[in-house]
Structure 1
Amino acid sequence: MVIENLTRILIRLPSIEKLSFTTLSVLHTLSRKSPMRLTELTATEQVTQSAITQLVTRLEQDGLVERRSDPNDGRVVQVHITARGTNVIDSRRLDRITQLSKFMEGLTSEENRAIASALPALRRLVELGNGS
């Protein structure tokens, strides 16, 4: 329950870039795994093929992603995050770190150490959730 509540708080932190949760999720996915096929994005984002196609079209129009032919199979289209898309994710991450750091100022040294010692286990939990 604590992780769920913390996730809710982190998702709702104010941001300069006003993008939908699904849009941000696609950009985060591509920032880790670019390039990807549309079918892969559909599966990872758990949306319909039609929805991901529309979203990628909007992201492409905004200069955040681009579609390119797969060099190994010209019939396949891959979605690549652009430098601008990467910048959106990086700037949001830095902004969230700054905001979270302000929250952490209210913790004791012992609480900060407890969080630091839990980070390896949380990192592994993320890896397991990402299928690693």
Structure 2
Amino acid sequence: MPGSCISSLCNFRSPVRRNSVSTVPNADPGEGSPAVAAVLDDLAVLAVRRLSAQGDLSLTAAATLSYLDRNGPERLSVLASRQAVTQPSMTQLVRRLEREGLVDRSADDLDGRAVRVAVTDAGRALLAERRRLRRERLTELLGTLSPGELRDLTRIAGEFLPLLRRLLQSEAGE
């Protein structure tokens, strides 16, 4: 699948702007929040643009598959809400994913009018391949760092990741 474009699910991205990475100034925590937010925003943009393969799934399609993989089958209306898209938009996305063999749709056991969506084995395999490719690319990038830089980044990431997870979980109400 590397380098392939899953027909209707392609997402072509513009290149990353040069000289757009923010830095956190030496400021007290209250004054530093906007600067930290800018750095986190740049980090998210760089990660999505640099680590997602060209012609790969759209961000919404990938996030939907990942959500289903982590949480199991879900109602289409819940998926739309989780991805902050309209129900008709999610319906179109799920139909495309179903045509590609990445999800299955079925009637909800509790409400026959509602649709439940589940990731298929092919969808799980695609997610696993995407993860493998991202980690391979990250390993290549990390290989360009000096031992000291890698040590510093490892320490910082170890402190940063639990904080970021906590922030994102509190925002999601988990």
Tell me the TM-score range normalised by the shorter chain.
Answer: 0.7 to 0.9
Match of 1:70, as an amino acid? D
Matched, 1:91 2:126: no
> Which residue, 26, 45, 48 being the options, matches 1:11?
48
TM-score norm. by structure 1 comes to: 0.85
Q: CA–CA distance in 2 between the matches of 1:100 and 1:91?
A: 14
Corresponding residue of 1:109: 151
Q: Which moved more, 1:56-65 or 1:8-17?
A: 8-17
Match of 1:11, as an amino acid? V
Q: CA–CA distance in 2 between the matches of 1:90 and 1:125?
A: 26
Corresponding residue of 1:54: 92
Q: Which moved more, 1:47-56 or 1:107-116?
A: 107-116
Aligned-residue CA RMSD (Å): 2.0
Q: Tell me if the contact between 1:38 and 1:49 (Cα under 8 Å) persists in the aligned partners.
A: yes
Corresponding residue of 1:27: 65
Structure 1 spans left out of the alignment, 5+ residues: none
Corresponding residue of 2:168: 126
Distance apart, 1:24 and its partner CA: 1.4
Give the number of equivalent residue pairs. Answer: 132
- The structure carrying a bigger strand percent of its residues is 1
Distance apart, 1:56 and its partner CA: 0.6
Q: CA–CA distance in 2 between the matches of 1:119 and 1:38?
A: 30
Deviation per CA, 1:27-82, whole angstroms, max 9, x where unpaired? 12222222111111111111111111111111111100111222333333201111
Distance apart, 1:109 and its partner CA: 1.2
Structure 2 spans left out of the alignment, 5+ residues: 1-37
Correspondence 1:41-80 to 2 at 5 A: 41-80=79-118
Q: Tell me if the contact between 1:37 and 1:78 (Cα under 8 Å) persists in the aligned partners.
A: yes
Q: Tell me if the contact between 1:66 and 1:80 (Cα under 8 Å) persists in the aligned partners.
A: yes
Deviation per CA, 1:67-118, whole angstroms, max 9, x where unpaired? 1222333333201111111121222122212222333331341232121222
